[in-house]
Structure 1
Amino acid sequence: MRQFLFLVFSIVSAGLHLATAQTAGQQLWSQAVVHDVYLQFHQLSYLDTLSTNYTADVYTVCDLTIDGQVLSNSGAKYKGNSSYNNPGPKKSFKLDLNEFVSGQEYDGIKKFNLNNGFKDPSFLREKLMLDFLVSHDIAAPRCSYARVFVNGTYWGLYTLVEEVNNDFCDRWFGSSSGNRFKGDPSGDLRWYGSSPNLYYNRYELDNNETANDWSDLIRLIDKINNSGTAFHDSLAAMLDTWPYFRHWAADNLFANLDSYIGSGHNYFIYHESVSDQFEWIHWDVNEAFGNFQQQLSLAQIKTLSWDYISNATGRPLCQRVLGDPGYRSDYIQALCLVSEDFSNTYFDPIIDSIVPIIRPFVYADSMKTFSNQQFEDNVVADISITSPMGTQWIAGIKSFIQDRGSNIRSQLSSLGCIVGVDHSTAGNSKPQLFPNPANSTTFIRWEQPLANPIRVEMLDLSGKMIRISQVQVGVSEYVLSLDDLPAGVYLLRLGSEGTAPTCLPLMITR
């Protein structure tokens, strides 16, 4: 049985690797290059047409060229809110290659976004956070860079960001048929009543528009707000909670406050049809690293509390999670885990590899908001700018990572979190799992009491993290409750400092 289980995991891992290797968008998002994107409009007053069509939310036809490949009769439209209203012609775009030519695509991709980074002197915020999320298995769009030309004129350096659509959901969750809601313009998840029309102006149904069935979203909001003492189990039945806690942890860590924990929007939730649970998806992180400050000082941003919510009663999901001891502990563990790589040791080599690549295109961008010197300075240090509202400080990327990382590690230490510990079992005896197969309970046993703390991660066959817990020094037996998990094969990954992780397969029977 043990050999069979290891074979199962080996086959699944190989299959996942193969699927990743064949993923659409590899050329757009898996190469350390700045892409060339040309938009050619044939309307006489194409900028006026784009502005008019922005209000109407319709695409304007254009000829699109990506790295030399021509895609005629593609669709382009302005996008964004504050990024659109910033002065100057450098607006953000949404491109749909399939809007006017059915089936047209590039590198397997039919739709993507070009974001103007108008509030980011460093041109790094969106790229760094999205790459971090994706590399840490937190559902988010992929991101690269493009130098964009409009009717032959260099329009500037943009981030080229993946669209959250059916293809995205298929890649992350293995399905796309369920409802996908965007938490815009004000997706606070508060209860306003059972009628769908009470939510139409707060959320967007991003697919399945013909059916227009909002009942699943309303059930989720009902459970969040009205489940009383049954909140824990009610939420677990409808929301994939562990991934959500990691999303929340990332927003806190990066001080990404133009999100649910701050402004109350900029996310998607997808109703995955197999698990019948909602999955959280990150969106629009261009003001990460403390650039959306909500009237907080930069010092307050860098020392943001681990449980920060801008408006507790207005963010019932966070409020109720923090009021539930089990979920509160899970969120702390998620923040502990996600924060391990939030360090200059992790980020500085990445930053130092990106900046030389984008520098010439930043310098050549005459439509950018900030100067070349502000770009250089903000990569490493806080800068001040003068606006009609007075002096404003913008966090430097490297300095923010240093200051925020140090502060959050101090906060987490007081909560019993072990930050910066590798997944390994050094100093501890070899663990055993009994019984296995198991039904409702299994035990992890060590011959000797633990000399070092152990992190226990449980993953399903898709590689999705199911739960995480920590076992403290001195423990020799740890109980795992399995009642809430369906029958199947799982992987337990045990880690402490010093050696490679120990992986134990577990079969749950019913």
Structure 2
Amino acid sequence: MDETTNLPQYKIFINPSDLRELKRDIWIDDPVPARLAIEGKKLEIDLSYRGSHIRDFAKKSYQIVFYKPKKYKGSSLIHLNAEFKDPSFVRNKLSFDFFKEIGCLAPQSRHVLLTINGKVEGVYLEIESVDENFINRRGYSTGAIFYAVDGDANFSLMSDLDKETKKSLMLGYERKWGTAQDEHHLQEFIYKINTLTKVEFEKEIPKYLNVEKYLRWVAGVIFTSNYDGFVHNYALYRNGATGLFEVIPWDYDATWGRDVNGKRMEADYVPIDGFNTLTARILNENIFRKQYRKLLEDIMNHKFTVEYMIPVAEQLLQSIRPSVLQDPYKKQQINQFDQELEVITTYIKERKNYLQKKLTIFS
């Protein structure tokens, strides 16, 4: 195998004094100026660390904001994820692409090889930011985007963090795009989820939520087994034309058979019916339960199969392997990297078996 990289190369150059300032306190979000050489162009950027607990890892993740020009390929900013706990580097991308395959909005992503001041930092996953540019490039209507920033984004009136009644229904959310009026729409949506009677729910909730898209998103969480996916790790998009909410997945490295610490995950770890208030109420309605079961069966027959997914995963792994051998943080674990296709294969088989047995609860 040719061990020279075939990934796009991102070359960042930072003044040494700015680099020292960046490293001085990893918990500061303030960016430092830098230059990015990419695809024959040199761009002025602002560079900062990203993430929460992942900042403690030896291999950092970054956020790049384009300064001059203000946009590059239609984006104002991009994320570079180290994928440090994923021995395969591919679970995030495999998940985002899977969500798109089953009919959900999801970020574009690609693997790149990053260097900073000439030092190889290794394989990174470039992830499209979920913002107004994300919506515009897809031709969707102007609207609003909210990030689920912690476990209080559980679609409930009760806090997931302190188990008390929420003082504000905006708890757990950060408005990324939109207006204060859009916050009112989100709060009304959450209030309705929790206060509509059973008789009202089936008829009224489709006035606030694209139910089919929501069920597709639930299916995506279930098939990939993102434990945090129901109360975190997502963004909400409110379509300005329809007034309906859709869910966009985010942070899916702890999936396809490995948990957030990179440990093997049991196939029954995430229940088939999920665990947030909105999902519970939707799946309590017979018409939506039948729709969900049919959707799961269809995806299991056509997408969530070894025959469909493993060639995709194998191609991704082969495309990044030469660059993994250049990654100073991961090249010593190349043997584990080479075993990840089997880990993902085993997960798909065992997860599918579990889900098929549990389908009967939706009869």
Alignment partners' CA distance in 1, 2:335 and 2:259: 22
Residue 8 of structure 2 aligns to a residue in which SS? strand
1:204 is aligned to 174
For 1:468-483, list aligned pairs within 5 A.
Answer: none
Of 326, 329, 343, the residue aligned with 1:367 is 329
Alignment partners' CA distance in 2, 1:361 and 1:138: 30
For 1:90-489, list aligned pairs within 5 A.
Answer: 90-97=59-66, 100-101=67-68, 103-172=69-138, 174-176=140-142, 178-186=143-151, 187-191=153-157, 198-208=168-178, 211=180, 214-229=183-198, 230-260=200-230, 264-292=231-259, 298-299=265-266, 301-302=267-268, 304-309=270-275, 315-339=276-300, 340-368=302-330, 371-380=333-342, 396-412=343-359
Q: Is the 8 A contact 1:252 1:308 kept in 2?
A: yes
2:39 is aligned to 67
Q: Is the 8 A contact 1:190 1:221 kept in 2?
A: yes
Cα displacement (A) at 1:275: 0.5
Alignment partners' CA distance in 2, 1:161 and 1:91: 15
Which structure would you say has the larger Rg? 1
Mean Cα displacement is larger for which, 149-158 or 198-207?
A: 198-207
Per-residue CA distance 1:42-96 (angstroms, 9 max, x = gap): 14151542554x6343322110111231112x1111111232222x1x1111111
Alignment partners' CA distance in 2, 1:117 and 1:219: 36
Q: Does 1:77 align with 2:77?
A: no
Structure 2 unmatched runs, 5+ = 160-164
Structure 1 unmatched runs, 5+ = 1-31, 310-314, 381-395, 417-510
Letter in 1 for 2:208: M
Q: Does 1:46 align with 2:26?
A: no
Of 29, 35, 39, the residue aligned with 2:8 is 35
Letter in 2 for 1:78: Y
Runs of 4+ in 1 over 4 A off after TM superposition: 413-416
Alignment partners' CA distance in 2, 1:238 and 1:415: 24
Residue 149 of structure 2 aligns to a residue in which SS? coil
Alignment partners' CA distance in 2, 1:41 and 1:212: 41
Cα displacement (A) at 1:334: 2.3
Alignment partners' CA distance in 1, 2:16 and 2:144: 37
Mean Cα displacement is larger for which, 244-253 or 130-139?
A: 130-139
Percent of paired sites with the same residue: 25
CA 268–37 in structure 1, closer or farther in 2 if over 3 Å, else same: same
Letter in 2 for 1:234: E
Letter in 2 for 1:408: L
Letter in 2 for 1:400: Y
TM-score by length of 2: 0.88
Letter in 2 for 1:127: K
Alignment partners' CA distance in 2, 1:137 and 1:268: 16
Residue 371 of structure 1 aligns to a residue in which SS? helix
Structure with more of its chain in helix, by fraction: 2
Q: Is the 8 A contact 1:181 1:268 kept in 2?
A: yes
CA 167–196 in structure 1, closer or farther in 2 if over 3 Å, else same: farther
Q: Is the 8 A contact 1:303 1:407 kept in 2?
A: no
Letter in 2 for 1:327: F
CA 332–355 in structure 1, closer or farther in 2 if over 3 Å, else same: same
Alignment partners' CA distance in 2, 1:360 and 1:270: 38
- Calculate the aligned-residue CA RMSD, in Å: 2.7
Whose RCO is larger (CA < 8 A, sep 6+)? 2
Alignment partners' CA distance in 2, 1:95 and 1:235: 38
Alignment partners' CA distance in 2, 1:93 and 1:317: 33
Q: Is the 8 A contact 1:290 1:302 kept in 2?
A: no
Q: Is the 8 A contact 2:235 2:247 kept in 1?
A: yes
Alignment partners' CA distance in 2, 1:197 and 1:68: 51
Residue 63 of structure 1 aligns to a residue in which SS? strand
Cα displacement (A) at 1:222: 0.5
Cα displacement (A) at 1:402: 2.1
Alignment partners' CA distance in 1, 2:47 and 2:6: 23
Alignment partners' CA distance in 1, 2:277 and 2:184: 19
Aligned residues: 350
Q: Is the 8 A contact 1:38 1:66 kept in 2?
A: yes
Letter in 1 for 2:219: A
Per-residue CA distance 1:183-212 (angstroms, 9 max, x = gap): 11221111259x996245521011236x47
Residue 107 of structure 1 aligns to a residue in which SS? coil
Alignment partners' CA distance in 1, 2:339 and 2:130: 33
Cα displacement (A) at 1:415: 5.3
